[in-house]
Structure 1
Amino acid sequence: MDSLFKPVPLVAPGHTRPVTHLSFSSLQDDGTYLLVSSCKDGNPMLREWTGDWIGTFLGHKGAVWSTKLSPDTSRAVSGSADFTAKVWDTYSGEALHSFPHNHIVRTVAISPSLSHIVTGGQEKIVRIFNLGRPDADPELLCDIGTTAHNGTVKSVIWIGDHTAATAGEDGMLKWWDIRTRQQITSLTWPGPVTSMEYSAPTNRLVVTSGKSVAFIPAMPNTAPTHSLTLSYQPSSASLHPIWQDRFVTGSVNDEWVRMHGINGEERDILKGHHGPVHCVEFSPDGEIYASGSGTIRLWQTTPGKTYGLWQGAASGS
């Protein structure tokens, strides 16, 4: 570990069922950021960088699988088992748009310009909705017939102005040109992709599949991919956005959060959850990381450091 202090997590209460997804905003000009959480209770929650609750987005009628924030934090987009994706005003909590689907929406993303959202899920379809024309029919990213993948779309990422990345249970990671709606290139894993995160500061995708974790250039064919095989199956992984020398994982097969060096060596096992850990993510400044199980826990990257609600009062080990 980086300190003689024991890691003492903060618990962010409020959800009543398992937390399915966590997403930090970009770092804002004043050095702060926001955290949004998705949960099977159907109520995405917005929190300050300290973990303090700001508000709850009310309106979904089923489990929420994915919620993400716009770069300026003014908008949030969520995908739910109620067959809708919703766009929210983060200041008022109002649902600005609700987009119907024919099945569960598992993943969502919003463009940097706030002009479009992209969604994916059980239908194996990836849709693009124009927020300037919310009543218009969506456009599709299509590869095979009218589908983008041969299995549930588990993650969609918006990269820059004109590129999207999608990953699915078919073991495929695909890059798409948003302007032409055509596939650019792809990568294949032997098994389903279980998570994909866009690490904007490092311009890499972090992908988990089976026991593997891969760190992939966000734009294809720009640099080599770094891939590792772990001794367990991670549910998700997140790369430190500044140091890039470590990553954190969760697993649905135990209750632990693990910290690894970039070459895979296990640096620490963090205990505190009482159920499977579905999701993990580093904050954009790298000072903390969040983990989601039945509760949200926030962990310091450097335990004992005065930061946010931590006052450096942890007891030494």
Structure 2
Amino acid sequence: MASPAPAATKSVPLTCSGHTRPVVHLEFSDLQDDGTYTLLSSCKDGNPMLRDWLGDWIGTFLGHKGAVWSSKLSGGEANRAVTGSADFSAKVWDTFSGQCLQTFPHNHIVRSVAINAAGTKILTAGHEKKIRLFDLAKPEAEPSYLVNAASDAEASKGLAHPNNIKSIVWQRGQGENTTISAGEDKTVRWWDLRTMTKSSEISFTDPITSMERSQGCLGELLTITSGKNVYFIDATTREVRKQHQLSLAPSSASVHPVNADKFIAGFTGDGWIRIYDFETAKELELHKGHHGPAHAVSYSPDGELAASGSEDGTIRLWQSYPGKKYGLWQ
């Protein structure tokens, strides 16, 4: 009789503590020359945290007076970060010193932010329904506004979307002349930063819960969750590369950046983390561990691990290839 096949090695997560309220957004830096990277977490406790590739705490950015909904890192060595908060402000930080370099007041909650690769310009969006472009070399200057010129009603009010804006990402390709926003109006819009007007949009049937930009073997991709669906869209051509309907509605999703052979999704319904086959959406792995809804997931730039952030205030790091010696998994 043939021997039974050996059981698959189970991923044992590393738990990163420190936050005191729900973790709502995660952002990895670019991969550094020495093979390391950093992880920036946004939390309702108002204290975004920076960690190294092992999950060890580097520092906390102190200064916001409300929940931080979004944090993004500049390109390269990621020496700059931008954060958007419920305290009606966006802040720019030096990631090496932890110093707040600039604060930009708003009139309502800043739900999402973006920063260009050089760390010289930022975009902000949120409950004002507007998208602002700030030049960090001219902090006293008034920001520029992206306006939907195709809609007279929106243009007259200086709006980018008719409803709150949930997410904004900066397209790194093609000279960084494009930004992409997702609104509660169930649309994703592309904006030309040279004309400051909308260039294209895609409408969805269900509310959009997350949008992530990634750069990998499939080029620059947008991973969008809407209802029970996950969409993988070419950021440049706007082509839907793949669409999958899952059994549950995901809160966020992230595609493996190196092989693009699988994607991870988090769920607020049961708090579990699932890994799916990219081509078929077959469930490959089920990870339990969080004690509350999972709000955010993201793959590291080398694809060796994925991070998840939860209502329980923790970040968990899940090894992509259990059994392989990597980081603290030795």
Tell me which interval the TM-score lies in, with the shorter structure as reference length. over 0.9
- Partner of 2:177 in structure 1? 162
Is 1:95 paired with 2:112? no
Q: 1:153 aligns with which of 165, 173, 180?
A: 165
Structure 2 spans left out of the alignment, 5+ residues: 1-5, 149-153
Q: Which residue number in structure 1 is paired with residue 318 of structure 2?
A: 299
Displacement after TM superposition at 1:135 (Å):
0.9
How does the TM-score come out when normalised to structure 1? 0.95
Which residue in 1 is equivalent to 2:227? 210
**Equivalent-residue separation in structure 2 for 1:224 and 1:175 (angstroms):** 14
CA distance in 1, matches of 2:184, 2:281: 24
- The structure that has the greater radius of gyration is 2
- 8 Å contact from structure 1 (residues 185, 220) kept in 2: no
Are positions 1:273 and 2:290 aligned together? yes
Determine the C-alpha separation between the residues in 2 that align with 1:12 and 1:134. 35
Aligned to 1:219: 236
Q: 1:179 aligns with which of 191, 194, 211?
A: 194
The whole-number CA distance in structure 1 between the counterparts of 2:304 and 2:315 is 16
In structure 1, distance between residues paired with 2:261 and 2:23: 27
Question: What is the CA distance between 1:4 and its match in structure 2?
Answer: 2.3
Letter matched to residue 299 of structure 1: W
Equivalent position of 2:87 in the other structure: 82
Tell whether 2:144 aligns with 1:139.
Answer: yes
| Alignment partners' CA distance in 2, 1:276 and 1:163 | 33
TM-score by length of 2: 0.92
Q: Secondary structure at the match of 2:31?
A: coil
Moved over 2 A (4+): none
Matched-pair identity in % = 55
Q: 1:258 and 2:274 equivalent? A: yes
Displacement after TM superposition at 1:191 (Å): 2.0
Q: Does 1:29 align with 2:47?
A: no
Amino acid at match of 2:114: A
Deviation readout 1:38-77 (Å, 9 max, x if unpaired) = 0000000000011000000000000000001111210010
- Cα distance per residue 1:274-304 (max 9 Å; x no partner): 0000000000000000000021000000112
3-state SS, counterpart of residue 294 of structure 2: coil
- SS of 1:200's equivalent in the other structure is strand
Question: Could you tell me how far 1:220 is from its partner in structure 2?
Answer: 2.8
Q: Deviations over 1:4-53 (max 9, x none)?
A: 21110000110000001001011111111100000000000000011000
What amino acid maps onto 1:210 in structure 2?
Answer: G
Q: Does 1:231 align with 2:243?
A: no
SS of the aligned residue for 1:6 comes to coil
Contact 2:41–2:71 (CA under 8 A) maintained in structure 1: yes
Structure 2 counterpart SS, 1:51: coil
The answer to whether residue 64 in structure 2 is matched with residue 60 in structure 1 is yes
Q: Match for residue 314 of structure 1? A: none
1:71 aligned counterpart, secondary structure? coil
Which amino acid in structure 1 is aligned with residue 235 of structure 2? A
State the match for 1:315 in structure 2: none
Moved more, 54-63 or 168-177: 168-177
Residue 287 (structure 1) aligns with: 304
Question: Is the Cα contact below 8 Å between 1:3 and 1:302 reproduced in 2?
Answer: no
Confirm or deny: 8 A CA contact 2:113 2:168 kept in the other structure: yes
The answer as to whether partners of 1:105 and 1:121 remain within 8 angstroms in 2 is yes
Shift of 1:224: 4.3
Q: Give the conservation status (yes or no) of the 8 Å contact 2:231–2:240.
A: no
Which range is displaced more, 58-67 or 155-164?
155-164
1:256 CA displacement: 0.2
**Structure 1: unaligned runs, 5 residues or longer:** 312-317
Instruction: Give the structure 2 partner of residue 70 of structure 1.
Output: 74
Q: Deviations over 1:255-287 (max 9, x none)?
A: 100001112111111000000000000000000
Which of residues 27, 37, 43 in structure 1 aligns to 2:47? 43
Residue in structure 2 matched with residue 129 of structure 1 by the alignment: 134
- Distance verdict in 2 for CA 1:282–1:132, change over 3 Å: same
Measure, in 2, the Cα distance between the counterparts of 1:63 and 1:91.
Answer: 23
Corresponding pairs, count? 309
Task: Tell me what 1:109 maps to.
Answer: 114
Q: Partners of 2:180 and 2:300 in 1: how far apart?
A: 21
Range 49-58 or range 182-191, more displaced: 182-191
